[in-house]
Amino acid sequence: MHTHLHDFLIHWGIMSLSLWVASFLFSGLKFSGNGTLLVSALLLGFANAVLRPIMIVLTLPLTLVTFGLFLLVINALIIQLVAALVNGFKVSGFWTAFFVSIFIAAFGFFIELMIPGSSPVVIPTGNTISI
């Protein structure tokens, strides 16, 4: 049980760091403060764990026709949803969310590579899993 909490905190930290760095690289991504950043990272992780699988199943034909590229659209929509729910988290538009989602996936993957004892594996949704 203790390792689950540790893994959760590591992934939350990676998501927070990814969003923080992205806010410097993308002018259309803003946080009103550190608390907003942490809440946004937490809610984004929750949305990725719960909503993304549902959205993937519901859009499976479109995802298959686009050879999986529609997953990038799903990622962007989830970021926009979290921004709409968290006061103080602003995303200027769809394309900002689109490119931020790509950055977060890539940055998180490389951060996972640097964590001793973890070997990140990319799954089709863009998340990383340590095995």
Residue 5 has pLDDT above 90, yes or no: no
What is the pLDDT averaged over residues 80-101?
96
Count of other CB atoms within 10 angstroms of residue 129: 13
User: Between the CA atoms of 60, 64, 70 and 71, what dihedral angle is there, to the nearest 10 degrees?
Assistant: 70
Count of other CB atoms within 10 angstroms of residue 87: 10
Cβ proximity of 118 and 130 under 8 Å:
yes
- Residues of the chain with pLDDT > 70: what percent? 87
Q: Which domain holds residue 113?
A: 2-130
Residue 117 confidence (pLDDT) = 67
Q: Helices in the chain by DSSP H: which ranges?
A: 2-25, 34-58, 60-65, 70-85, 94-114
Closest alpha carbon to 118 in 131, 105, 109, 108? 131
**Better-scored residue on pLDDT, 5 or 104:** 104
**Better-scored residue on pLDDT, 123 or 111:** 111
Please state, in angstroms and rounded to a whole number, the distance separating the CA atoms of residues 35 and 43: 12
pLDDT tens digit string along 9-35? 888 999 999 999 999 999 999 999 999
Residue 130 has pLDDT above 50, yes or no: no
pTM of the model: 0.83
User: Strands 120-122 and 128-130: what pairing?
Assistant: antiparallel
What is the domain count for the chain? 1
The pLDDT mean for the chain works out to: 88
pLDDT tens digit string along 35-47? 999 999 999 999 9
